[in-house]
Amino acid sequence: MRDSQSRDRDRHAMECIINRRALFSASHRYWLPELSDAENQKLFGACARFPGHGHNYVLYVSMLGELDEYGMVLNLSDVKRVIKSEVTSQLDYAYLNDVWPEFQQGLPTTENLARVIWQRLAPHLPIVRIQLFESPSLWADYLGQAMEAYLTIQTHFSAAHRLAKESLSFEENCEIYGKCARPHGHGHNYHLEVTVAGEIDPRTGMLADLAALQQVVQDKVVEPFDHSFLNKDIPYFAEVVPTAENIAVHIRDLLAEPIRELGARLYKVKLIESPNNSAEVYCLQPSGLTNAAAAVPVLL
């Protein structure tokens, strides 16, 4: 008789995560009646404007299970029917603030909406992740961890760089870096994704002030890096070769403390140098977590 470890190994070998996409269009407004007009404007900016604004949402539902005799985790027709019944038929062309009672308690921000969608679907599907795109440059991930969520913003900058170590000859640098070592450098349109983690505020629905987060990234990264020659214009790269990996590490180090001051924590920086090349770095040790498990990133 096989031992339990062998049985567990076989079971996990047949496990698979499947993903189902769904779409809906809806509007919402960030507004708290207990605050004055001026207070709402200060807290939410343009999102507080009456009567609200809309988005074309893209929802990804990730589900984990074992393959059945038909080679499926779940019948996707059944999955589609559940998502439509419990979520999209109710949210499509709706005013989110009024559609579900949960949004009388906390506003329908991207991260809070992802959390509530999880709660609506979890009794019916073996969910392991909800990912909700409010736009191509803003999305949230929720993994079922109480009020904990992840929020990602995407931005971009254009910059030039040269890959070369000053201590090496031109020939040696060309041997290592190829064409990237040519003296005048070359440029990229970089795409930057910054993911932060934190607790969703039960009233505002926010894990961080989105406008403040966007401003931090603008001030610390986009403004100094955009239309620069990284080797000469960014002091850090006077001594460090500005590979995509090193740029991502430097951006992480620039953002970690300012984001912590916003009440969230930096989780991941992803830098896309081209459609073929990208680098990801994590903040593996959030403040307050000291055990070994805290050093293992959750891959979103």
Answer for the pair 195, 151: CB distance below 8 angstroms, yes or no. yes
Known active-site residue 273: yes
Q: In terms of Cα–Cα distance, which of 268, 277, 270 is closest to 296?
A: 268
**Length of the chain, in residues:** 300
CA atoms within 13 A on the CB side of 10: 6
Cβ atoms of residues 198 and 209 within 8 Å: no
Q: Which helix (H) or strand (E) holds 112?
A: helix 110-121
Do residues 277 and 287 make contact, with C-beta atoms less than 8 angstroms apart?
A: no
Instruction: Enter the DSSP assignment of 45.
Output: G
Tokens 């921000």 appear where? 109
Catalytic residue from among 102, 180, 199, 245 = 180
DSSP string covering 205-216: --SS-HHHHHHH
Active site annotation includes 184: no
Per annotation, catalytic residue among 53, 156, 186, 227: 227
| Region class of 67: left (phi > 0), else alpha (psi between -120 and 50), else beta | beta
Question: What residue has token string 């080797």?
Answer: 231
d(CA 200, CA 264): 10
**47 an active-site residue?**
no
The β-bridge relationship of strands 186-199 and 138-142 is unpaired
Catalytic residue among 86, 111, 193, 273: 273
Residues known to be catalytic: 180, 227, 273
